[in-house]
Amino acid sequence: MSIKITGYETHDVRFPTSLTGDGTDAMNTDCDYSSAYVTLLTSSDLVGHGMTFTIGRGNDIVCAAIKELAKRLVGKDVEEIFANMGKTWDYLSADSQLRWIGPEKGVIHIALGAVDNALWDMYARSRQKPVWKLVVDMTPEELVNATAFRYITDALTREEALAMLKAKESTKAEREARVRELGYPAYVTSAGWLGYSDEKVARLTREAVHAGFNHFKMKVGADRDSDLRRGRVIRSIIDDPQYLPQGQPPRDPNGPDLVGKNAGPTGSVLMIDANQVWDVPQAIEYVKSLAELKPWFIEEPTAPDDILGHAAVRKALRPYGIGVATGEHAHNRMVFKQLLQAEAIDVCQIDSCRLAGVSEVLSVLLMAAKFGVPVCPHAGGVGLCEYVIHLSLIDYIAISGTMERNVLEFVDHLHEHFLYPCSINKNGRYNVPSDPAEGYSIEMRKESIAEFEWPHGSYWAGAAQKTQ
């Protein structure tokens, strides 16, 4: 008997991270990390979980959009959905009246990310594989059929994508074995939030070095003197061999994984992130004034849709050895297409649910591989680390074939709320998700939903009582 999708549930889950300063940057000064969460239900016990990330108010609006999109799946046969996930993605994005209030951007698009991700979670659970393993085990033809290609064929055709995937096919098993053994390289942002004191920055940086990390990111853009001071604090620790884990020698700053990254004497790398706060000329001058910190790149120096602005910033900063990264707030694959075509970025930063789910992410991974730009996903927030390790594994094993220069963001917040939390090994690398039941690793604990659902969860109801 065929299994059909019978309904859905949504939850507006918000965590009070604004109380501790987690997530603070020059643009976003008051963040309550939030999940617009959906569970797709079927005529069997098979389910699919997905979410998209916000920072508080408006999370309810995203949940409302998720419901409208999920309605389109009710009554559909799951195996027909799974047979061609690219076609399914096209169907979900093609409701003309919902599309009108995008199109393919904003609330509707990130809601589509939650729904598409829930379908991929369901698909992986039905095959008893984590999502990354489901995708890397696909044939090149199946993977191309799972990808969203509309509007990008001037940069990458299906035929080109198929040829790229076939070229990597015979060596997938070797890369899978290697990453299972080593883990996937990570970088840490947890020490660099603007809302932290210098003492907290120093303590968290020392802890991160001791944990094996050698790439570190700090937020900038609110105050130049403060940025320089905090950057010097971080550099004084990450460049000092005394803080390295016992017995670990310094890395070679000119090794193939670090050359061109402005690595310090221990092989440690610093990145800076402005979260869109500057105009283009302001970005150029401000980052020049931080050149002594020797950042590998400036992330989101200006408006995320400004392709030519990013290209101008990149050209101006190239003599200083500073690159440009963006993508956390890139609306869709077309923005990434143009960033790559305009040679506007050195690093491509996908987001697992601002892009509309796995099918659209695959299109960006394929384009970035064609253009030779490393993908270093955004993973701050709640649930994003759980998501993106799957995407980086897909990129390394099946698409780009390299993780030498890649680093995946790790933020040590809120993992305890998930049944299958991500984890980091002693060398500062993500462990490979390996539980056959975990799907996309995004299933949230029922008790966490009960406590933090807005506005009637036990935490928020208690907080409201205290203010009365």
Active site residues per annotation: 219, 378
What are the beta bridge partners of residue 409?
187
CA atoms within 13 A on the CB side of 179: 30
Q: Buried b / exposed e across 132-151, counting CB within 10 Å, b at 16+?
A: bbbbbebebeebbbbbbbee
Q: Which long-range contacts (CB under 8 A, 24 or more apart) does 444-451 make?
A: 444/11, 444/13, 444/35, 444/37, 444/49, 444/51, 444/383, 444/417, 444/418, 444/419, 445/417, 445/418, 445/419, 448/13, 448/417, 449/11, 449/13, 449/37
Residue 247: exposure state from Cβ atoms within 10 A (0-12, 13-18, ≥19): exposed
What are the beta bridge partners of residue 216?
188, 270
Taking alpha carbons only, the member of 17, 45, 42, 43 closest to residue 32 is 17
The contacts of residue 23 (CB under 8 Å, 6+ apart) are: 17, 31, 33, 55, 193, 380, 381, 413
The contacts of residue 249 (CB under 8 Å, 6+ apart) are: none
Q: Residue 172 CB: number of other CB atoms within 10 A?
A: 16
CB contact at 8 A, 395 and 175: no
Taking alpha carbons only, the member of 364, 355, 373, 341 closest to residue 149 is 364
Structure-token pair, residue 369: 């591989």
What Å distances lie between residue 33 and 54, 212, 219, 421, CA to CA? 6, 26, 17, 17
